[in-house]
Structure 1
Amino acid sequence: MPSKVKIGLIQAKHDVHGDEPVHVHKEKAIEKHIRLVHEAAEKGALIICLQEIFYGPYFCAEQSTKWYESAEEVPEGPTTQLFQQIAKDTGTVLILPVYEKAAVGIYYNTAAVIDADGSYLGKYRKHHIPHVAVGGRGCGFWEKYYFKPGNLGYKVFDTAYAKVGVYICYDRHFPEGARLLGLNGAEIIFNPSATVAGLSEYLWKLEQPAHAVANGYYVAAINRVGVEAPWNMGEFYGQSYLVDPRGRFVAIASRDRDEVLVAEMDKSLIQEVRDQWQFFRDRRPETYEDMARLLP
């Protein structure tokens, strides 16, 4: 594997009004993101991540069975298979966040991991599911209506270019899974998100650099942009970024426009930082047993 790897992060506004049929959302968003993936590949990106459930709006702003129609099986569904071919054609690793249908009436917030030869390596299912009101118009992060909590653990995928872990949006507020991804060998963690100003922005550039430092790996954070009608629950504030194991921002995208951010990770820095700090050596897991037992 090369030591230096270019990472592509795609942030985009969803352009279709929420009242439109589900198939219109998916068709328009997939068409747009195919263009953006090719743009990232042309800029030299070898690992590319899209935003949370990239092929639609952030429909969790409301509670409607309409959006169940957008769920697909992974990897058997048409979107995963389409992007497997794109990964093969471009020679890129793709982190593909979609709405997964695991069985009738059972849905997950999922990211498929596709290797550079187009092979499907596996999937991560979002573990931590929020249910939080936002504003006074009945809008919120009503995710428990749509998603079961993830049940596949904190896998690390050995791709053609790096050992990749995935954490999705709200997961980033929980350091336990971030640590497990590090212990499982991750060199870079991707966190595709959909989060709005006024709620989480003050944490956006705080928590994930802290995860990077505590675990000695890179973190790539992706957030969509714009305001989505008809909910208008707030502005998705973009600012996707790559941060290194010292907590330094390698590159940061804009706040308010579509952007393909390409930045370089240097895996040799992971070894350097871990040799210096030795956080994994000095852990005391035998003293942490109460963490899993204690309840509020």
Structure 2
Amino acid sequence: MAPRCYPNYLKAFEDGDDIFDRFKINTPLRISHFLAQALYETGRGTVLFENLKYKTAARLLEIFGVGNHTAAIRPDEVDQYLNNDRALAERVYGLGNPKKAKELGNTKPGDGYKYRGGGLMQTTGGANYLRMGNLAGVDFYNDPDLIVAPEASLLPALHEWNEGGLNACADQNDIRTITRIINGGYNGLSGRTELFETVWSAIGKSGANQVAWKAAATSDETRELQEALNDLGADPALVVDGRYGPATEKAVTWFQRQAKIPVDGNAGMVTLAALKLRLNARTASERA
């Protein structure tokens, strides 16, 4: 699962039972989702701090170029940042990118590199190092290396998890929402899902014999979604059980194609709005 994991992280996890209990990450689903996100963010435990030593212009521009990042690095300036992690960090997260620097709380020259992504959830920015330090009771701001120290590295990740209310998402087996809150988008969703499935098969109740969505808690929102899809002609009709399993995902995909909206199998805001419009239109037609 993580054969080259840094000893820092291994030690933190080995000694982490009490702190996991403190944050109530104590069920197979919660543990599996937390580990999947942490392993993805750290390259299966091989990344302590964000690696900003890009070797090719194409890859650097793909991540930080115009239209891809607020840094909007141009092709005519990219060469100076190749294999120059400190300069790139300053350009991307520091004073070379004033809007992002303000957002991250990087106020002094060198802060972009000093407070680059670090630790299990890749905490980024002076303001976040300070905030996590205050929550954890550890001075990450003045000593950023502590964010990967075995005795402290779990704390920022667990506080971020707690702030996002992610235990509830894990209980619903909702990896998309977990990823969005951790990542700010859906970058690496497929990789995170693969890691989750690997961890779940290793530690989930009954292992691979019980698929994760069947272990997830039910929700009224999913029941309402299933009823709406049935009303609109889902075929085969869904069992209204409140669990977002493969059949529900398939029905959502079917509806998204029918409604000509982005197809991803996820009942997000756009899909729910389209469902409501279709149901309202059908009700109005029946009354006419």
Structure whose alpha-carbon radius of gyration is higher: 2
Q: Same fold (TM over 0.5)?
A: no
Structure having the larger proportion of residues in helix: 2
TM-score (norm 2): 0.24
